[in-house]
């Protein structure tokens, strides 16, 4: 789940909002972490206790709601995956000087290879963990080189000078919105981790996943803040690459290529797997051909980028779109938490329910605000 969240959009959003808000972006990260943990704890607990994928649970809450949720998640996952494929191509372009199109094709072949391999599940988990660890180590080096104003960042994390609702919506959407939070929950189902006996394990996994994604977000924020406070301007065409290059020259630029590719390829895998997991329970043939459908999903994402191209603007927009999906997905899970036909004897904590509904209302408000702002421009 953590490495699914840390994709090209994640890198781009963090750099863009750090340049816009400066040290005040720390407050946005703090608020988003709280919202992320509440949303993820609710969703993961309910799915694993019910032992069913989110779309089946939603259909039992309201007939047809699961199909609607699947449509939103699948569409959002496809849109995000176009950006993921593009990011993977860009990463290889930076590393080896090949064209972005060639990098996309090579990355798509690698992603497909992971799913063709018989032990795809084990390989997927192992590869995403290794690449996630590598991303964090490399970004730590860039933070050190950029020398950010730590005291200013700490102060404005709690007392911000600027606030952006659009930034909160986008950051939360890019961490637990759309398909992303389900990437972990549906993997737990596939691994057979279901029922009340696994609640402690689920809680630990949910909070750790948010912790890893948030750590990477903080590191990127600090790296970008150091560059911005030094008086440099990020390249609007590729703000995340600017952070690495301005902080550490050509070496930093090459490190960015590696971080971008690692972030992108793990997100391609997570997005494809989770998006397809939202439709595989609707018909036995879909489940029987799940691996093939995942491969087709990756190939379609690649083809759309190669023939239509330029998803740069969509990376921030899709984060906001995924944020707008969250009230639907979280709201459905919270309603399911009190249906004994779904969760049997499990008693969902009242405090978690209350906080969950507050997140639903707040995210719905942010989504409405963002739509209103878009209509005004």
Structure tokens at 150: 């730590």
What distances in angstroms separate CA 233 from CA 118, 167, 249, 302, one per listed residue? 47, 20, 15, 31
Output the pLDDT for position 133: 80
Positive or negative torsion for Cα 39, 155, 147, 226: positive
Asked if residue 221 lies in contact with residue 18, where contact means CB atoms within 8 angstroms, the answer is yes
Q: In whole angstroms, what is the distance from residue 335 CA to residue 374 CA?
A: 31
Assessment of whether the complete model's pTM goes beyond 0.95: no
Structure tokens at 137: 């180590």
Q: In whole angstroms, what is the distance from residue 317 CA to residue 340 CA?
A: 38
Q: In whole angstroms, what is the distance from residue 220 CA to residue 210 CA?
A: 15
pLDDT in tens, 150-171: 999 999 999 999 988 888 888 8
Nearest CA among 32, 46, 25 for reference residue 319: 32
Q: What does the DSSP 8-state code read for residue 339?
A: -
Output the pLDDT for position 352: 95
Using alpha carbons only, give the angle 152, 11, 211 rounded to the nearest 5 degrees: 70
Output the pLDDT for position 74: 85
What distances in angstroms separate CA 193 from CA 46, 104, 213, 276, one per listed residue? 12, 34, 22, 20
Output the pLDDT for position 119: 67
Q: What is the DSSP string of 186-240?
A: HHHHHTT--SGGGHHHHHHHHHHHHHHHHHHHHHHHHHHHHHHHTT----TTSHH
Output the pLDDT for position 324: 77
Instruction: Say whether 274 sits in a helix, a strand or coil.
Output: helix
Specify burial of residue 300 (Cβ count, 10 A radius: 0-12, 13-18, 19+): middle
> Which residue range is the domain that position 336 belongs to?
2-376
Q: What is the largest CA-CA distance in the chain?
A: 59
Asked if residue 92 lies in contact with residue 263, where contact means CB atoms within 8 angstroms, the answer is no
* pLDDT < 70 positions in the chain: 118-125, 128, 309-322, 371, 373-377
CATH of the domain at 121: 1.20.1740.10
Structural domain total, the chain = 1
Output the pLDDT for position 314: 53
Output the pLDDT for position 318: 60
């Amino acid at each position: 789940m953590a490495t699914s969240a840390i994709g090209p959009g994640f890198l781009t959003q963090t750099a863009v909002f750090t340049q816009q808000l400066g040290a005040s972006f720390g407050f946005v990260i703090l608020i988003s972490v709280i919202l992320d943990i509440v949303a993820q704890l609710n969703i993961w607990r309910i799915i694993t206790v019910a032992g069913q994928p989110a779309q089946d649970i939603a259909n039992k809450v309201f007939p047809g709601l699961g199909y609607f949720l699947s449509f939103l998640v699948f569409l959002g996952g496809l849109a995000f995956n176009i950006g993921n494929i593009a990011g993977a191509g860009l990463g290889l372009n930076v590393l080896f000087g090949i064209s972005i199109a060639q990098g996309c094709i090579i990355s798509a072949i690698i992603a497909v290879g992971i799913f063709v391999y018989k032990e795809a599940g084990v390989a997927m988990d192992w590869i995403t963990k290794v690449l996630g660890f590598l991303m964090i180590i490399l970004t730590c080096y860039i933070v050190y080189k950029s020398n950010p104003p730590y005291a200013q960042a700490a102060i404005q994390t709690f007392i911000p000078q600027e606030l952006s609702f659009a930034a909160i919506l986008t950051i939360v959407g890019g961490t637990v919105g759309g398909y992303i939070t389900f990437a972990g929950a549906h993997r737990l189902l596939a691994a057979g981790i279901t029922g009340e006996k696994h609640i402690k394990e689920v809680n630990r996994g949910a909070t750790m996943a948010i912790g890893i994604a948030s750590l990477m977000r903080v590191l990127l924020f600090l790296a970008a803040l150091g560059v911005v406070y030094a008086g440099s301007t990020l390249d609007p065409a590729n703000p995340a690459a600017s952070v690495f290059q301005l902080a550490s020259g050509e070496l930093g630029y090459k490190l960015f290529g590696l971080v971008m590719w690692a972030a992108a390829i793990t997100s391609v895998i997570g997005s494809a797997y989770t998006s397809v997991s939202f439709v595989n329970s609707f018909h036995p043939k879909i489940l029987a051909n799940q691996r093939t459908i995942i491969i087709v999903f990756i190939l379609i994402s690649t083809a759309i980028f190669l023939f239509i191209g330029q998803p740069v603007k969509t990376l921030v927009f899709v984060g906001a779109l995924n944020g707008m999906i969250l009230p639907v997905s979280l709201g459905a899970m919270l309603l399911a938490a009190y249906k004994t036909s779904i969760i049997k004897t499990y008693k969902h904590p009242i405090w978690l329910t209350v906080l969950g509904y507050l997140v639903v209302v707040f995210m719905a408000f942010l989504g409405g605000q963002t739509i209103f702002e878009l209509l005004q421009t």
